[in-house]
């Protein structure tokens, strides 16, 4: 390859974005979370399309700032961030790598059944819901009746 | 045929002002709820509603075309410019009354947003698609709470019945129509409000039956909020809180 590359490839850019942590749950990346919907070069401008998790998610502006900072740090000078509402974000877009990282961190990953599958601490299945909402808009609070530990559950939407 | 922009603006203000005013009301509980879990739940609900407001009023500001933003519409209009239904501006009362109001609103919101996802206006459809998911979650929680408290202790039952008796006469306004609604219906932008009533009655009836609560008798319906004809005295008091910072320090930003 030539020494000077002004336009990094899209695979490379996805890799860089996969290194940007979610500001509220830093064990998973923005790519794992499924909120980066598209990355494309338009002439010499890189256009990154992001969708919000929840309408009022206070992290949205921080997320945009983090993307901006990361990509500029890799030398991308012309960058445009687009917000896209439709199709609305769904937890189905969280990657398998992201789901495993969530559970490792103590957050039960989303399940179509609407509740956690097992306790992220002891894998117990004797669970109860404490509250439909949690410390961030995307989480609910549950408790394991086996190990008695409370834990966050990533809401399925 | 071109959509009447003035009427579209009016429709968007009605959607956005409902979520803005209710979002602010619910946020008043932050730090005051009976238990921590409920405090967090109320704050999260408020956050969703304010987020939806940003989309509705953001679009409203664009349609208005005077260079204003969602924030300008939220913080720099006076009470008579607001187009929310009276239900959402009523004071919180006790926790039960707040959750009863939330349920009566969530039930309507979940039904209309679902219908709006098929709007002929793609912006309206995409905002509704996003908000509908949140509304579905909200109504699940507020239904559970209304059932839990209604079919709870003698005291909680009494308070929930009192809340329902007080709030129910404000529900009818959600289903009224005027020339704005007629235009929205004709253009396929929004459903005729009256057409939502059967689904609403079915949902509310089912939850209230489980909650062992009775709908109050009488067909009287308070109105005037969504047309801007007349708000309750409560809205002005609320705005003095909500708008204080931008009024005292115009243009202040983070
Ligand atoms: Zn456990």
> For the purposes of burial, counting CB atoms within 10 Å of the CB of B254, is it exposed (0-12), middle (13-18) or buried (19 or more)?
exposed
Q: Is A112 on the interface with B (CB under 8 A)?
A: no
Give the pLDDT confidence of A115-146 residue by residue, as tens digits. 999 999 999 999 999 988 888 888 999 999 99
Cis peptide before A104 (omega within 30 of 0): no
- B62 and B121 in contact (C-beta within 8 Å)? no
Checking if the pLDDT of A66 tops 50, the result is yes
pTM for this one?
0.92
* A155 vs B: CB within 8 A: yes
Would you state the pLDDT for residue A138? 86
> What's the confidence (pLDDT) of residue A4?
46
| Residue of B15, B51, B125 to mutate for A, most A C-beta atoms under 10 A | B51
Q: Of the candidates B37, B122, B144, which has its C-beta nearest A141's C-beta? A: B37
Q: DSSP labels for B8-63?
A: HHHHHHHHHHHHHHHHHHHHTTTTTSSSHHHHHHHHHHHHHHHHHHHHHHHHHHHH
CA distance B167 to A76: 55
**What tokens appear for B67 in the block?**
């260079």
Question: Which is nearest to B18 in space by CA: B92, B112, B100, B85?
Answer: B85
DSSP string, B101-156: HHHHHHHHHHHHHHHHTT-SSHHHHHHHHHHHHHHHHHHHHHHHHHHHHHTS-HHH
Which of B40, B134, B144 minimises the CB distance to A55? Answer: B134
Residues on chain B touching A157 (C-beta within 8 angstroms): 133-134, 137
Determine contact, residues B32/B39, Cβ cutoff 8 Å.
yes
For chain A, list the domains and their CATH numbers.
10-92 (3.30.300.130), 106-154 (no CATH)
Q: Which one of B24, B37, B147 would you mutate to disrupt binding with A, by most A Cβ within 10 Å of its Cβ?
A: B37
CA distance B226 to B210: 31
The residue-averaged pLDDT of A32-48 equals 96
Taking the Cβ of residue B51 and every Cβ of chain A, the question of whether any pair is shorter than 8 Å is answered with yes
Distance of residue B235 Cα from the nearest chain A Cα, in angstroms: 23
B127 touches chain A (CB under 8 A): yes
pLDDT of residue A113: 84
Distance CA(B48)–CA(B200), nearest Å, equals 22
> Exposure string (b/e) for B58-75, b if CB count within 10 Å is 16 or more?
bbbbbbbeeeeebeebbb
Which residues fall within 8 angstroms of residue A72, CB to CB, at 6 or more apart? A79
State how far residue A75 is from chain B, nearest Cα, in angstroms: 28
Q: Binning pLDDT at 50, 70 and 90, where does residue B18 land?
A: very high
The per-residue pLDDT of chain A, averaged, comes to: 92
| Number of cross-chain residue pairs from A and B with Cβ atoms under 8 Å apart | 70
Q: What six digits make up the tokens of B245?
A: 């910072």
Task: Report the C-alpha gap between A23 and B111 in whole angstroms.
Answer: 33
Query: Residue A5's pLDDT band (boundaries 50, 70, 90)?
Result: low
The mean predicted confidence, pLDDT, of chain B is: 96
pLDDT at A45 over 50: yes
Out of B41, B48, B127, closest to residue A56 by CB = B48
According to DSSP, the residues that pair with A144 across neighbouring strands are: A127
Interface check for B55 against chain A (CB to CB < 8 A): the answer is yes
Side-chain-side CA neighbours of B254 within 13 Å: the count stands at: 2
Q: How far is CA B163 from CA A106, B142, B145, in A?
A: 40, 14, 13
| φ and ψ at residue A21, rounded to 5 degrees | -75, 150
Choose the CATH number for B5-216+223-248 among 1.20.1260.10, 3.40.50.1820, 3.30.460.20, 1.10.150.20. 1.20.1260.10
Span B154-178, mean pLDDT? 98
Q: How many residues are there in chain A?
A: 157
Q: pLDDT over 90 for what percent of chain A?
A: 78
A149 alpha carbon – ligand 1 mean position (Å) = 6
Residue-level pLDDT at B1: 54
pLDDT band for position A3 (cuts 50, 70, 90): very low
CA distance A135 to chain B (A): 7
A133 min Cα distance to partner chain B (Å): 5
Tokens at B234, concatenated: 């409560």
Residue B218 backbone zone (phi > 0: left; psi -120 to 50: alpha; other: beta): left
The tokens 């059944």 sit on which residue?
A: A113
Dist. CA B243–CA B24, nearest whole Å: 11
Q: Which residue has the tokens 């830093």?
A: A26
pLDDT for B2 equals 76
Q: Which of B37, B51, B141 sits opposite A55 (nearest CB)?
A: B51
Query: Which residues line ion ligand 1, judged by CB < 5 Å?
Result: A 119, 121-122, 124, 144, 146-147
Is residue A66 helix, strand or coil? helix
Across the interface, whether the CB atoms of B50 and A130 are under 8 A apart is answered no
Task: Report the residue of B46, B130, B131, B253 to disrupt the A interface, i.e. the one with the largest count of A CBs within 10 Å.
Answer: B130
């Amino acid at each position: 390859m030539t020494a000077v590359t002004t336009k990094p490839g899209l695979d490379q850019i996805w890799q860089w974005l996969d290194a940007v942590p979610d500001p509220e749950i830093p064990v998973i990346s923005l790519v794992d979370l499924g909120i980066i919907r598209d990355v494309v070069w338009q002439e010499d401008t890189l256009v990154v399309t992001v969708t919000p998790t929840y309408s009022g998610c206070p992290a949205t502006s921080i997320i945009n700032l983090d993307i901006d900072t990361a990509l500029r740090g890799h030398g991308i000078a012309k960058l445009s961030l687009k917000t896209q509402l439709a199709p609305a974000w769904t937890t189905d877009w969280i990657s398998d790598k992201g789901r495993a990282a969530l559970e490792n961190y103590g957050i039960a990953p989303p399940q179509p059944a609407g509740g956690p599958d097992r306790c992220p601490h002891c894998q117990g299945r004797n669970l109860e819901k404490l509250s439909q909402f949690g410390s961030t808009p995307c989480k609910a609070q549950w408790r394991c009746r086996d190990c008695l530990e409370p834990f966050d559950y990533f809401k399925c939407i | 045929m071109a959509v009447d922009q003035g009427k579209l603006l009016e429709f968007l203000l009605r959607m956005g002002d409902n979520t803005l005013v209710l979002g602010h009301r619910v946020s008043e509980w932050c730090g005051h709820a009976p238990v921590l879990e409920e405090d967090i739940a109320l704050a999260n609900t408020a956050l969703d509603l304010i987020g939806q407001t940003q989309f509705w009023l953001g679009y409203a500001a664009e349609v208005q075309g005077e260079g204003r933003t969602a924030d300008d519409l939220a913080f720099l209009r006076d009470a008579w410019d607001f187009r929310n239904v009276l239900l959402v501006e009523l004071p919180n009362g006790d926790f039960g009354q707040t959750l009863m109001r939330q349920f009566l609103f969530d039930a309507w919101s979940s039904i209309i947003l679902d219908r709006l996802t098929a709007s002929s206006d793609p912006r309206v459809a995409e905002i509704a698609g996003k908000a509908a998911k949140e509304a579905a979650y909200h109504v699940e929680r507020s239904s559970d709470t209304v059932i839990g408290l209604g079919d709870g202790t003698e005291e909680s039952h009494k308070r929930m019945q009192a809340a329902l008796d007080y709030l129910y006469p404000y529900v009818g306004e959600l289903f009224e129509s005027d020339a704005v609604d007629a235009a929205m219906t004709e253009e396929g932008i929004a459903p005729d409000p009256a057409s939502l009533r059967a689904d609403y009655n079915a949902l509310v009836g089912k939850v209230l039956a489980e909650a062992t609560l009775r709908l109050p008798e009488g067909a009287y319906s308070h109105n005037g909020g969504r047309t801007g004809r007349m708000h309750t005295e409560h809205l002005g008091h609320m705005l003095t809180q909500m708008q204080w910072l931008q009024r005292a320090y115009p243009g202040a930003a983070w």
